[in-house]
Amino acid sequence: MKEPERFRHFFAVYETEAWLLSQPDIFPDAVKKAFPKNVTQPETVDSNDHPSQLLERLYKEKMRQEYGKTTTGPDLFNALDPDVAYNKCPRLKEMLDEMLRLAKAAELQ
């Protein structure tokens, strides 16, 4: 009998902030209105301005406050609809589908 798979390493494209960018409505209007056009495909945001760098810059410029991964980020994640991120982020979708496949396979054994 084959040993079940217990570990799989996944890489997020850029940072988890790319998933936040999938749902602009969770951001303050001033930040949302300043998003670049390619934010509709969050995993392809310009490599010169990574998602967290983009948010840091926009929060500073538009809100006159800091964007913090551990302070602002959790509130945004709580507002995020996972289905929206799943549908707009192909790499996230791939990761979640594979995790679900592994969980189902483990359940059968």
Is residue 1 predicted with pLDDT exceeding 60? no
φ/ψ of 45, rounded to 5, equals: -55, 145
With bands split at pLDDT 50, 70 and 90, how would you rate the model's confidence at 5? low
Domain assignment present for residue 4? The answer is: no
Domain assignment present for residue 90? The answer is: yes
Is residue 47 predicted with pLDDT exceeding 70? no
Domain assignment present for residue 23? The answer is: yes
Is residue 102 predicted with pLDDT exceeding 70? yes
Domain assignment present for residue 37? The answer is: yes
51-95 confidence digits (pLDDT tens):
889 999 999 999 999 999 999 999 999 999 999 999 999 989 999
Specify the number of domains making up the chain: 1
* Residue 47 burial (CB count, 10 A): 7
Which H/E stretch holds residue 103? helix 90-108
Domain assignment present for residue 2? The answer is: no
- Output the DSSP codes for 33-83: HT--GGGGSGGGS-TTS-HHHHHHHHIIIIISS---TTTHHHHHHHH--HH
Domain with 57 in it: 17-108
Domain assignment present for residue 57? The answer is: yes
Secondary structure letter of residue 5 according to DSSP:
P
Prediction pTM value = 0.82
Domain assignment present for residue 12? The answer is: no
